[in-house]
Structure 1
Amino acid sequence: MRACFRSAALALLLAGCVRPPPEAYVPGGSSATAATAVAIGSNARGEACRMLRSGGGAEVFCGAWESPSARVRQVAGAPVPELAARATTAQAGRMSCDAPTPTTVLGGQPAAVMNCRRHVGGWPAFALVATAGGNAYEADGVLPALPAAERAIGILAGLASPEGALPPSAALDMMAARLSREAFGANDLARFEQLMTLGREANQAERFVAAETAYRAALGAQERMLGAGAPDSFGPMIRLALQLSNQGRHPEAEALFARAAPLAGRASDPLARAQLQHYRGLHEANRRQAEAALAAFGQAEALYGREVPPELRSGGAGSRAATLATGANIVDPLAARAVVGMVEVRRNRAAVLRSEGRIAEAEAASAAAAQLAAVAPGLPGADLIAARVARTTGAAADSAGAPARARGEFTRAAARFARGAPRSRPYADTLLLEAAAAADAGAPAGAILNVCRQATAVLRELREGTTAQSIAPCVDAFARSAGGDSQTLLAEAFEAAQLAQGSITTTQIARAAARLSESARNPAAGAAIRQRDEAGRRLATLYRARDEASVAAGRGGGPSVQDLDSQISEAQEALIEADQAAQTAAPGFAQLLQSVASASEVFAMLEPGEALASVFLPPEGAGWSFVLRDGRIAAGPIGGTGTQMDALVQRLRASLEDGNGEKPFDAAAAHGIYRALFAEVAGPLAGARRLIVAPSGQLLSVPFGVLVDTPPPAPTGHEGVSFLLARLPIGHVPAPASFVALRRAGPSRASQPWFGFGAPLPVPVAQAARTFPASAQCGRLLAALPALPTAGLELQASGQLMGARPGDQRTGRAFTADTVRRASLRDFRVLHFATHGLLPGELSCLQEAAIVASPSPGAPDATNALLLAGTLLDIELDADVVVLSACNSGGGGAGESLSGLARSIFFAGARSLLVTHWYINDAAATRIVAYSLRNLQQGQGMIEALRSAQLDLARNVAGGSHPALWGGFGLVGPGPSGRAGQTASAGPSGG
């Protein structure tokens, strides 16, 4: 048995994929706007550009790129030739420029333009100088952005007008990055308040990454001004902690909360202790710890209440009359902030109570929040406060069975969000709630579709997803309105359903596949994109190092925070340089990073007779199965809720997970899943020659080949059972967009067929113990991993079958983490790991998944025996297939189809992954992998090659017919197509 240690809760799904509940947002504070952006037309490629002011200059962003395409600066006045000479000197460290060419801009303003080449990569760029409106300007950037830079100069000089203001949410990410760069460079004091305001705005727009960037820079600025551990660093620290929690990065958040707690009592802000409890309550709500959240909210309300005027605390009619009689707002800013805090705490409590099914208490808490907000006019951020309160009140009404009242509240909330946070995530989410309430209230289909189209348009514009439960009413409305016939409405339903399928896996696959596509067009472009990714990871690493250094500095030791700040500033500029190089080298790259694929894009990538089945399954209520084949979409309701399907999945996996076939196969559960998913779309599947499945929820942990497509002869047992794998080859993808991205990438261009790693030596007990000094149990578990005697045979046979060179494998002592990191693997079409895999839930001391290698002899610990998922991000591949012949590499029973290990390999450049979904018998694994690769080498597509190997085991090996033995392998990704289109025709039907 290729074994790993089991755990009741496998921590496979990166927590950043989990949406925080509606209460996970902090009070608004200042109503000042930190970010404003304007539209300025298009660049030379036709991409829309927007301008973000920066002091006396501006940054220009075009298309979907995250870094500026051009930067404009106001400089000291001088004649144009002198401006050009100064610009050439200033840019000398970054690029070499030709002699300036005199020209005019903006209808006759004197200027000069220079063609330049960047020192790194030699990519073309421009530099522009001009005098306009009595001022002098200098600009530089990627060549297509030159006309946009000229318009930006015109706007700054007052000689041109922008084409329109953009919603504040459109500028938050850009502004956070810019202010962060400035704060880590110079002028800390001038930027701190801007960063804090921007953090609040980004948080309120639910742009948690932008809020994290802003608060992290604000914390760095304040620590530089006041010193590490200063009491008043509490403010940005506690807000940063919450943004990490909102992204599901709970351990990081916990560490910051622990740092902030001792500072709360000494901070100059009188509301610090109230905020600590409030934000801890939000953090506990994010972790789904309801009782802890409610307890923290109770403490926060009491602490806020000390600063709230007594006449307002009750929030009743008398207090409203008293307030209105004076005709006055709350003058004391501290009291106003306390009132906002109390309103939010009451609203947060209502949301948590509703999630716990305590509806009457939730309605009471929501009403108390609404009453207090109503009797306190002039609160900062009044529109957003009213919007959030109305949304919470509507949710409570909906849970109480009053959809008409809920719809009214959601409509009011959406109108308020449209004013306070237009085109934002909260606005879109509220529209989805409005659509659901409208459907429950029996509103006309046209009204529901109109609201749904508004919501989905905003989410697509923001490139954000949502939960399956939130989008379900809209998917249902589109699909049912289609009547099974309207292809336009079915396409809308198919695309709306994908808004719930976005994940870290989908994003990384899209990025890697786009990089591979660009590499095929121009290898230098692929290199530029990889350098951009590496620059981003380096910056993230420095941020983490700074967090650790700041803690150490507060204790009087550790590395220099100042040195790290300098490195961060340099890394931020390096990221811009790398991003601009990628913009030049691969202009369409950013546009390829989509999480939703249109039906037309899927059809363009499907081969004749090939079908893609996308399963949309919310937890409550029925979902839909969409089948796309030969230019048409079919859709059918699923015969069960997400909860019911999860129960069937658990039953099915329980009969398979031993990997040895010792338990009776639950044929009834396997057929129940198949019937529920495909009974209404049986026609398009009947004649398909290959099936690509994009599941959802717990279905991601099921290889669809083990489903039973006809009623079984008995509820349990595999004798006489008709498996879906017997009918057609099956591949899996996390989402339709992943299928499009991977198929678009094309086949590998590597010259060599195969490289293998595996058969690790066991880790000695002493080395394992020193690897995890804080946990003796982790050391014992690592040392207890057994040798894999058949892994070496698997690699030897696979290499021979693939025609690999004798030296193209590393086994035993030669297989270490360093060996993998140092290997040049881009030249191999197939990369094969035959070893143990460890998931964080199986070895609790690991924070990420790992491949187990051999320990280094004489090393102080076994660090070199663990190839972590994060390390694999730095490996460069151009592989058709990566084989993870390691236990449970597909992710076991968790919601994601892939572990963090597999996600990293996709990001490194794999087009498909052969993974296992449970603990596979070692001999069976060896045979299936070796035969799959033989079949691939002989001309079958990878999906067909795996199927043939599985059927061979089931039909030709004594005792091999149980699906626990052959069914655990699954191919994620479409895989390479066969040269001869060969497929196996017979299947396991009872051994």
Structure 2
Amino acid sequence: MKRAFLASLSVMALAVSASPAAAKPAELPDQLELGRTGPGDPCVATPFWKEDAFKGSYTFTCRGSSANRFLGIVRSVREAAIAPVDSLLDCGPGMAVTIPGIGAATARRCFDKLLGQETIETRFARDGRIYTSSAVPLAQGPAEEALRFISGAAAPNQDRARKTTAAVEVGVLAPSPAVQSTTAGAVANAEDALQQGLRLVRQGLHLDAARIVSDALARLPADAAPATRIDLLLLAGLADSNLRFFESADDYFGRANGLLAQNAGIPGADVLQMKSRNYAALHLINKREFTVAASALDIGSMTAASEDQPLLDTRKVQALNEAPATGSPGSALASAWDNRTRTQLVIDAQAAWARSVALLGQNRPEEAAAALGLADASFDALRRQPIPQQQLLWLAARIERQRARMQLRGGDRTGALASLDKAIGYLRLAEDAGDNGPALAQVQLERAAVLSGGGASSEEVLAQFDEAVTSLISADADTGGLPTQTRSYLDALVNDAARRPDGTSPERFFRALQAAATPAIARQFVQLQSLIASDPALAAKVQDRQEVEREINKLRFEIASGGDSAKIQALEARRTELESRSFALQNELAANGSFRQVVDTPASVGEIRAVLKPGEGYLKLSKVGGYIFGALIDADGTRIYRVARPAVEVDPLIKSVRTTITGGDDKVPIFSVAGANALYKLLMGPAASRISGYSSMVIDGSGVLDTLPVGVLVTDDASTAAFAKSRRKDPYNYTGVGFLARKMSLSTALSPRSLIVSRNLAPSKAPYPFIGFAQHQPMPLEANVGGTMVSIGTNCEVELSKVAELSRMVQPIDAIELKEASAALGVPNAPEVIGAEFTDTNVRSRTDLDQFQVLHFATHGLTEGQWACSKAPPALVTSVGEANSDGILSFDEVAQLRLDANLVVLSACDTSAGVTSTAARAAGQEQVGASLDGLVRAFLAARAQAVLSTYWPISDAGESVQLITDFYGNAREGTIGGALQKAQVSLMSSRDSSHPLYWGAFVLIGDAQKPLLSGAAKMAVDQQAVPSVAMAEVGTASSR
């Protein structure tokens, strides 16, 4: 029952009142931040309770796909007790080394039987004790840091963003004569994973929690106790909900409740039911379904017991069980550890707090205050118990945070500030004890926001906001976007910039917009592309690691989803193999100095300005606290602003404009020129006058313009008014409309840092200019496919006959598109992979794709769900080949291709379409985002510098072929972005193709300022001397 009590201590990551007497932690906290490995993953050490003989042992794990696997262990043992440690190690000869902060030590290369890995063992003696660490080479820096902490050579440093450099390199140590091939190694058991996951949720590190808990679920044996599986499922659901993976969270909660229903009689089932209720309510609060959440919590536990039935009141039962005040903590713990009652108190406090949050969200302050009072009562009884008060600091902070919101709602700003100060104090105590994360920064932001409305000086308010944003950046955590409270900071900076245009507010504003974790695709792009020019072999290893970790994440999700036992065994074997490969790659990367110096920090305004071309601007739009904020950077300065209307009003306008492009079913709708003009003026706001003078612009509008290309917006009132008049005669003539795409070339950036990296990259060095793929061959009706099943994505198997049916339903795109495109580019005999040769297996097995600067896919895109299977990712249609072919090139398969391309062209339907969170999880993705989650994301991960894609099904009446042909013809000179703009202007200048449906879908993601062709390939085209291509000898692919 102890497990159930501890597990209940972290049900939430939000906000009630009490004053826990927080005990100062013993010499070392329960969690030690060890800094980052060479590859950049933060590591955390926690006590290793299994080693009772070695009190003071810590194991540590590092963020990544193997976040639930021990990468090292540090121990402090008496000199006479070292033999059991030595028995776990097979080592080579020792070498004298010097560890900074420690001094002389001995290091040797070993095989650690506990970790199942080749490790570096480092040890030294001091005051009758031996301090020793055994860690995989990539984690040697964190291991040395842990030795400094446990030996007292240095005080714990809870800054998780720092990088710890190893003094000992594995290459200088003699190998062990008994080195074995590494295995997957030791992992934390389900109980350890649950506790670590709970701690991470408490800290607001939801992505790390999701990794650990889903990995534990994937490793859980089939005969595991139902209660353990239910606990893990519930926590996995909460972590995913906090990350906005709502569909995935629903899946986890549904499976947990199904198991609960099947095992209603197991010990502790009632506690699990209450936890399920609380977690589900938090999930609803995350989705802002406050009414349903409040109703779910409106049960008996929310009501105090009557005076004539005192034993129904958990708080009174606990009072009867109080340990005598004179008892020692140890005896009190032994004699009065009423786990059942204490668990109930925690759950009651949590449930009442959550109900208060939900009621306040419905603007029912009096009922919210009553619920908060019940939370206070339960927590007051709990805080007097002889239990580790550190475990309760997070709950106390959230309670005080909710109290502050209640006080502010009632007009008591002073009281609200005092409550927030209490919450900050509790979180600082938790941070001192190792519980650090974004939670403190979020409360600091909220306090600064409250202060900003109370007459404090702007300098004081901005200083507090600055401190909070710095904390948020230091936390380096995916929090699902900027906290709502950041809005007040951004507003204050906008006002300050209006008063002092030459001040520091624009820089601070731009930094704040980047305080949320960078999207994973942008981090990967920065990491990979930073290395290509200097060390292509190293870049290949980076991509290897990304592919392996993506596959591990995918397998983890699939194993955790259940299924046939034989299949699960095969998947587990594959995961073990990949984890060993991942460790080997990480060790290689950790030893490389170039890799360790890759920068992925918030970009400055000056850095952005330095990579912009003359006449070019960079616009970043972000949703924060229900509003949209913009930062426009160009050679003349930076303009920051807030969009005049809230997002709840802007979003429907975006949707309605999109509907007038693609919402007409079989008929082209009349485009809303007035709506597009109103949207332009809203989104560009006070920056519109500067934008009007640009020749090109880069847009970073993720979360704002995910479904609508910015080029279809209308820039001027004059053409809007003119169209309103001419519409009566001809509602489909848009040749005079001032579309933004008519005025300038446009492109999309993944993140500020990714723009800087991409602009500093050399163009492709591939020797050949162009290769095309088109004209999939539908499976004939007479094909004998019987009941053959094929896998489409993860956990989605369909009959091959259904694949065949769909391949016949979509009309193959004629290879004439490739011929016209390549001819326009000046490569009339470019290689084509078409018909029966254009299979998914042939594309995946090619070894020459990195020999082409441009790859053109003229085939249909499939949106998620077309197979009636929730976990089928978007894909490109191909022909069906021989064994292991399914006629589908899915986006997780695309990401594994090896390219060196200036551009990938996807002239297909919906190739920029996003994926839902469940499909993203199934494909190994760990973050939510509506944009760039489809095939575009995959090609960028495969090392395309830019992708030309489409936002909606394009016309098959010839307009798209004309645009593509014009684009390639234009691209023989100038930039990729300029070539696309000219092609679009050509279509919009003709009445019959001027509707945005025909030209607006095309969008460039990546660096649009590079030429399409470069180096030898460009020279060969210019001289009309393109060499014949020796196609790779794979599958049946050939040149035509």
Which residue does the alignment assign to 1:833?
A: 857
Number of positions where the alignment pairs a residue of Structure 1 with one of Structure 2: 905
1:317-358 C-alpha deviation (Å, 9 max, x unpaired): x99999999979985221111011011112122223334454
Q: CA–CA distance in 2 between the matches of 1:404 and 1:852?
A: 59
1:540 match: secondary structure: helix
Check if 1:648 corresponds to 2:647. Answer: no
Normalized per residue, the structure richer in helix is 1
Correspondences of 1:191-590 after superposition (within 5 Å):
193-216=191-214, 223=221, 227-228=223-224, 230-247=226-243, 248=245, 249-250=248-249, 252-254=251-253, 256-258=255-257, 260-262=259-261, 264-269=263-268, 271-286=271-286, 290=290, 293-298=293-298, 301=301, 310=310, 313=313, 332-378=338-384, 381-398=391-408, 405-421=415-431, 423-464=436-477, 465=479, 466-467=481-482, 469-482=484-497, 483=499, 485-499=501-515, 506-548=519-561, 552=564, 557-559=565-567, 568=575, 571-585=578-592, 587-588=594-595
Q: CA–CA distance in 1 between the matches of 2:468 and 2:47?
A: 29
Amino acid paired to 2:494: A
Q: CA–CA distance in 1 between the matches of 2:377 and 2:604?
A: 45
Q: Cα gap change, 1:817/1:645 in structure 2, threshold over 3 Å: closer, same or farther?
A: same
Which residue does the alignment assign to 1:692?
A: 698
Amino acid paired to 1:650: K
Q: CA–CA distance in 1 between the matches of 2:381 and 2:140?
A: 53
Q: Cα gap change, 1:193/1:215 in structure 2, threshold over 3 Å: closer, same or farther?
A: same
Amino acid paired to 2:858: A
Q: CA–CA distance in 1 between the matches of 2:38 and 2:711?
A: 49
Contact kept, 8 Å, 2:772 with 2:831, in 1: the verdict is yes
Amino acid paired to 1:620: G
Correspondences of 1:590-629 after superposition (within 5 Å):
591-594=598-601, 596-618=602-624, 620-621=626-627, 623-629=628-634
Q: Where does the alignment leave 5 or more consecutive residues of structure 2 unmatched? A: 1-11, 111-117, 164-181, 327-331, 917-928, 1015-1040
Which of 931, 939, 963 matches 2:966? 931
How far does residue 462 in structure 1 lie from its aligned partner after superposition?
1.9
2:900 match: secondary structure: coil
- Percentage of matched positions with identical amino acids: 20
How far does residue 802 in structure 1 lie from its aligned partner after superposition?
3.4
How far does residue 407 in structure 1 lie from its aligned partner after superposition?
4.2
1:639 match: secondary structure: coil
How far does residue 933 in structure 1 lie from its aligned partner after superposition?
2.3
Q: CA–CA distance in 2 between the matches of 1:231 and 1:267?
A: 8
Q: CA–CA distance in 1 between the matches of 2:697 and 2:46?
A: 47
How far does residue 790 in structure 1 lie from its aligned partner after superposition?
4.9
Per the normalisation by structure 1, the TM-score is: 0.79
1:268 match: secondary structure: coil
Q: Cα gap change, 1:802/1:343 in structure 2, threshold over 3 Å: closer, same or farther?
A: same
Q: Cα gap change, 1:624/1:105 in structure 2, threshold over 3 Å: closer, same or farther?
A: closer
Which residue does the alignment assign to 1:13?
A: none
Contact kept, 8 Å, 1:110 with 1:130, in 2: the verdict is no
Q: Cα gap change, 1:453/1:423 in structure 2, threshold over 3 Å: closer, same or farther?
A: farther
1:512-553 C-alpha deviation (Å, 9 max, x unpaired): 24212212211121122122223312432442343245x54x
Check if 1:796 corresponds to 2:811. Answer: no
Q: CA–CA distance in 1 between the matches of 2:44 and 2:871?
A: 40
Q: CA–CA distance in 2 between the matches of 1:127 and 1:371?
A: 52
Q: Cα gap change, 1:69/1:477 in structure 2, threshold over 3 Å: closer, same or farther?
A: farther
Which residue does the alignment assign to 1:878?
A: 900
Q: Cα gap change, 1:260/1:694 in structure 2, threshold over 3 Å: closer, same or farther?
A: same
How far does residue 698 in structure 1 lie from its aligned partner after superposition?
3.8
Q: CA–CA distance in 2 between the matches of 1:546 and 1:46?
A: 27
Which residue does the alignment assign to 2:125?
A: 132
Q: Cα gap change, 1:487/1:141 in structure 2, threshold over 3 Å: closer, same or farther?
A: farther
Q: CA–CA distance in 2 between the matches of 1:721 and 1:415?
A: 58
Q: CA–CA distance in 1 between the matches of 2:967 and 2:786?
A: 35
Q: CA–CA distance in 1 between the matches of 2:915 and 2:194?
A: 41
Amino acid paired to 1:678: M
Contact kept, 8 Å, 2:902 with 2:1013, in 1: the verdict is no
How far does residue 606 in structure 1 lie from its aligned partner after superposition?
1.8
Per the normalisation by structure 2, the TM-score is: 0.75
Contact kept, 8 Å, 1:831 with 1:882, in 2: the verdict is yes
Contact kept, 8 Å, 1:915 with 1:970, in 2: the verdict is yes
How far does residue 440 in structure 1 lie from its aligned partner after superposition?
3.6
Amino acid paired to 1:797: E
Which of 869, 891, 908 matches 2:891? 869
Amino acid paired to 1:880: N
How far does residue 367 in structure 1 lie from its aligned partner after superposition?
3.4
Which residue does the alignment assign to 1:969?
A: 1002
Q: CA–CA distance in 2 between the matches of 1:775 and 1:220?
A: 24
Q: Cα gap change, 1:776/1:23 in structure 2, threshold over 3 Å: closer, same or farther?
A: farther
Contact kept, 8 Å, 1:509 with 1:906, in 2: the verdict is no
Q: CA–CA distance in 1 between the matches of 2:466 and 2:737?
A: 44
Q: Cα gap change, 1:403/1:949 in structure 2, threshold over 3 Å: closer, same or farther?
A: farther
How far does residue 941 in structure 1 lie from its aligned partner after superposition?
0.9
Q: Cα gap change, 1:414/1:870 in structure 2, threshold over 3 Å: closer, same or farther?
A: same
How far does residue 656 in structure 1 lie from its aligned partner after superposition?
1.5
Contact kept, 8 Å, 2:859 with 2:907, in 1: the verdict is yes
1:421-455 C-alpha deviation (Å, 9 max, x unpaired): 46422222222222333334444323322331222
How far does residue 707 in structure 1 lie from its aligned partner after superposition?
1.8
Which residue does the alignment assign to 2:637?
A: 632
- Shifted more, 919-928 versus 804-813: the winner is 804-813
Q: CA–CA distance in 1 between the matches of 2:75 and 2:703?
A: 53
Which residue does the alignment assign to 1:737?
A: 753
How far does residue 917 in structure 1 lie from its aligned partner after superposition?
2.1
Which of 153, 158, 164 matches 1:161? 153
Q: CA–CA distance in 1 between the matches of 2:833 and 2:304?
A: 63
Contact kept, 8 Å, 2:853 with 2:903, in 1: the verdict is yes
Q: CA–CA distance in 2 between the matches of 1:484 and 1:893?
A: 43
Contact kept, 8 Å, 1:312 with 1:375, in 2: the verdict is no
Q: Where does the alignment leave 5 or more consecutive residues of structure 1 unmatched? A: 1-19, 92-98, 117-124, 172-181, 982-991
How far does residue 874 in structure 1 lie from its aligned partner after superposition?
1.5
Q: Cα gap change, 1:468/1:833 in structure 2, threshold over 3 Å: closer, same or farther?
A: farther
Q: Cα gap change, 1:587/1:541 in structure 2, threshold over 3 Å: closer, same or farther?
A: same
Contact kept, 8 Å, 2:424 with 2:444, in 1: the verdict is yes
2:823 match: secondary structure: helix
Q: Cα gap change, 1:367/1:467 in structure 2, threshold over 3 Å: closer, same or farther?
A: farther
Q: Cα gap change, 1:114/1:509 in structure 2, threshold over 3 Å: closer, same or farther?
A: same
Q: Cα gap change, 1:65/1:901 in structure 2, threshold over 3 Å: closer, same or farther?
A: closer
2:422 match: secondary structure: helix
Q: Cα gap change, 1:665/1:105 in structure 2, threshold over 3 Å: closer, same or farther?
A: closer
Which residue does the alignment assign to 1:817?
A: 840
- Shifted more, 939-948 versus 969-978: the winner is 969-978
Check if 1:758 corresponds to 2:813. Answer: no
Amino acid paired to 1:919: P
Contact kept, 8 Å, 1:183 with 1:192, in 2: the verdict is no
How far does residue 756 in structure 1 lie from its aligned partner after superposition?
2.0
2:952 match: secondary structure: coil
Contact kept, 8 Å, 1:49 with 1:62, in 2: the verdict is yes
How far does residue 137 in structure 1 lie from its aligned partner after superposition?
4.8
Q: Cα gap change, 1:578/1:646 in structure 2, threshold over 3 Å: closer, same or farther?
A: same
Contact kept, 8 Å, 2:39 with 2:586, in 1: the verdict is no
